[in-house]
Amino acid sequence: MYLQDPQLSIPKRPNPIDPREVSMPPRRVTLADVAKKAGLSSTAASMILNGRPDTRLSKAAHDKVHAAAAELGYRPNLAARGLRTDKTQTIGFISDLVATTRFASGLIRGALQASEEAGNVMLVIETGGDPRREQKAIDAVLDRQVDGIIFATMRARELFVPAFPPATKVVMLNATNPHHLQTVLPDEFAGGRAAARYLLDHGFSSDIALIGHNAETEQGYFRSSTVEQRIHGIRSTMEAAGHTFMAELSAWDWEPQHGYTLTRSLLSGRTRPRALLCMNDRLAFGAYQALNEAGLRVPDDVSIIGFDNDELAEYLRPGLTTVALPHEQMGRRAVDLLIGDSDPVQEFISMPLIERASVKTASTPHP
């Protein structure tokens, strides 16, 4: 909607000059200015403006201060206030590559929204996963007196967190660390289960191929802590139903080209799969390409389900059914946890299955 939203376009002529744009005082108005204008001390002004309950200042004083503040357009200097109160309404958001790649931008989007709603602002730093840059990032935000830090990773993983003062509030977002228990993660186990169950429910059983992971070659080795859960969810569901995958193809990278290659090699086998369970949507994209080239149709010849709810899923024809990574909600939750004062918890956010058109009901159940 916002992509080409008319509101984002503007007429060719420059706007008339907004009066607000021309007259602003050269110096920032300070609390002292307000107090002076109100004919009171800055203490009185401070107490009144901050609505201290125990204050015994006259109604008249209140009115004068508020009037002066409004008239002068007073805004407190948060840096100065923070010096005193140790609260800067600022959150440090340190990630490997969340903001600058599209793979997990939802994390930052959600966090940004929740921050704004809570009157906070985020200092964003990306480290590329480099420990030295991570340490520098922590110093940088701490030097600026942030109220807390969110550590986020693009692919959920255990994150080594360099030194910082023990009192600092910390939330791990899409990441874990033994010393920091406040954590927000996707519920990958349930997500994996949902994907497998969806295929099973649509009449597939032992004619499903798994693209992106292989029990043999990748045993005990997982690219991320949550992918392990995803796989467990998938496999336990298959096992509970008494089925196994007809094939499992593994690739280290989960890019379209690998999905393409893997699917091609799969199609060269003697039995054709009826459904593909792809470890992510980009692999699924590659699968579409290979299927297409082989003259096979989705979902009539082969059904496909993916993970992530990548933007690609919507671009594909037909639309790709996929289990979404609830990044936005995770980001929001991380900020809530950081700002709130709950006990440390590990939160698992559920992964909704987004139904599109890439899976059909298998016409005849297989033996």
Partner DNA sequence: CTGTTAGCGCGTTCAC
Partner DNA sequence: GTGAACGCGCTAACAG
Task: With beta carbons less than 8 A apart as the criterion, state whether 138 and 95 touch.
Answer: no
Beta carbon nearer to DNA, 55 or 217 = 55
Residues 6+ apart with CB under 8 A from 155: 103, 104, 174, 223, 224, 226, 227
Residue 67 makes contact with DNA by CB under 7 A: no
> Alpha-carbon distance 303 to 320, whole Å?
9
Shortest Cβ distance from residue 336 to its own copies (Å)? Answer: 18
Per DSSP, what are the bridge partners of residue 148?
91
Stretch of 60-68, 120-128, 198-206, 340-348 contacting its own copies, by CB under 8 A: 120-128
Provide the token pair at 87.
């609260």
Which residues between 90 and 119 bind DNA (CB under 7 A)? none
Beta carbon nearer to DNA, 85 or 217 = 85
Kindly report the CA angle at 284 between 281 and 287, in degrees rounded to 5?
165
Q: Among DNA, its own copies, none, what binds residue 52 when CB lies within 5 to 8 Å by partner kind?
A: DNA
Q: Give the count of alpha carbons within 13 A of 235, CB side only.
A: 12
Q: What is the length of the chain?
A: 367
Residue carrying the six token digits 């429910």: 201
Q: Which of 88, 183, 263, 303 binds its own copies (CB under 8 A)?
A: 88
Provide the token pair at 130.
């480099």
CB burial string 208-229: b at 16+ within 10 A, e below? bbbbbbeeeebeeebbbbbbbb
Which residues between 55 and 84 bind its own copies (CB under 8 A)? 75-80, 82-83
Residue 178 makes contact with its own copies by CB under 8 A: yes
Stretch of 63-71, 154-162, 345-353, 354-362 contacting its own copies, by CB under 8 A: 154-162
Which residues between 27 and 46 bind DNA (CB under 7 A)? 27-28, 30-32, 40-44, 46
Residue 61 makes contact with DNA by CB under 7 A: yes
Stretch of 119-127, 199-207, 332-340, 358-366 contacting its own copies, by CB under 8 A: 119-127
Residue carrying the six token digits 């201060």: 65
Residue 133 makes contact with its own copies by CB under 8 A: yes
Q: Which residues sit at the interface with DNA, rule CB under 7 A? A: 27-28, 30-32, 40-44, 46-47, 49-50, 52, 55-58, 60-61, 74-77, 80-81, 83-85
